[in-house]
Structure 1
């Protein structure tokens, strides 16, 4: 449960202000694409818990992730990795999990059972 508080704090940081250490490239992508306004806080928490840990994302949030888009998801994850909270996390592993989460999202959204 403590890790959920860390992710909650991180999400609040994303939604309430710019991360001081974020790269200009990620900030520019996030700003130009309005990334911080395209997904609700509950789904942000689910997505980041899925990527940084091993939790599942609910069916309700898959659609929000598609609206968020791959570019925004990638920029937000890269910004998170710049946060000192994640200094002991392997960026390559997290980026790979982010890509896997995105691909899973597309697979579930495109599957016939989801569109029925």
Structure 2
């Protein structure tokens, strides 16, 4: 029985360590690349609404999001999900909306009509 308790404690410590490392990694990516200042505030709000609430993102803001890059986009979404204010949100749903928003913006920017 003592082995089970030690094992349980080790598993909890390992999982806690992984969460801390992931959070630090997202923060490090964001800080090193100065990602928080590379989008205009109205576009940040549009992207946030499209991902975390219900809304759409304009062509202009899609362009800014794509220039920001997928690594930054993912890091910012993951860091937002770590915020206790968003603890009631379903992470799988938010990640799916994040991927959908990214893919839609990427397709919009890559389409021939967007450069006209």
Work out the CA distance in 2 between the residues paired with 1:109 and 1:65. 10
Equivalent positions of 1:25-104 (< 5 A) are 25-104=25-104
Shift of 1:54: 2.0
Shift of 1:98: 0.6
Q: Secondary structure at the match of 1:56?
A: coil
Structure 1 runs of 4+ with >4 Å offset: none
Instruction: Decide which structure has the larger Cα Rg and report it.
Output: 2
- Does structure 1 conserve the Cα–Cα contact (< 8 Å) formed by 2:59 and 2:105? no
The one-character-per-residue Cα deviations of 1:20-53 (angstroms, maximum 9, x if unpaired) are xx81111011012211121111100000100012
Q: Secondary structure at the match of 1:23?
A: helix
Work out the CA distance in 1 between the residues paired with 2:91 and 2:33. 23
Shift of 1:67: 1.2
The one-character-per-residue Cα deviations of 1:74-95 (angstroms, maximum 9, x if unpaired) are 1111111011111110111101
Q: Secondary structure at the match of 2:64?
A: helix
TM, length-normalised to structure 1: 0.78
Q: CA RMSD in A?
A: 1.2
